[in-house]
Amino acid sequence: MKLHLNSDEWLELNIDSTGIATIKSSLKYEEPVDGDDARWNTSIDAIESLILAHFCAGVDVFGPTYREGIQTTLSALENQIYG
């Protein structure tokens, strides 16, 4: 299932028939990166892990309120890393 955050950013969450959950997104910089971009990617990994855990626990991560929370988190992260 794909969650569009805006026209350029998305998350895709899936649970396969064996119960394995995965997440993909357009949020990270392509490898290799260093400096602030590496910090961004590491932070995105943590945020994606939390979203995936919520998804697996049955939280509605596709709702508008949750989407707004993700966007707010990404904005705060951008301000923290890139100023």
Q: What are the strands of the beta sheet with 21-25, ordered from one edge?
A: 2-4, 10-15, 21-25
Say if strands 21-25 and 10-15 run parallel, antiparallel, or are unpaired. Answer: antiparallel
In this predicted model, what pLDDT tens digit does every residue of 26-73 receive, in sequence order? 999 987 789 999 999 999 999 999 999 999 999 999 999 999 999 999
Ranges of beta strands (E only) in the chain are 2-4, 10-15, 21-25
Paired tokens of 27: 């949020």
pTM exceeds 0.85 for this model: yes
**Is the confidence at residue 17, as pLDDT, over 80?**
yes
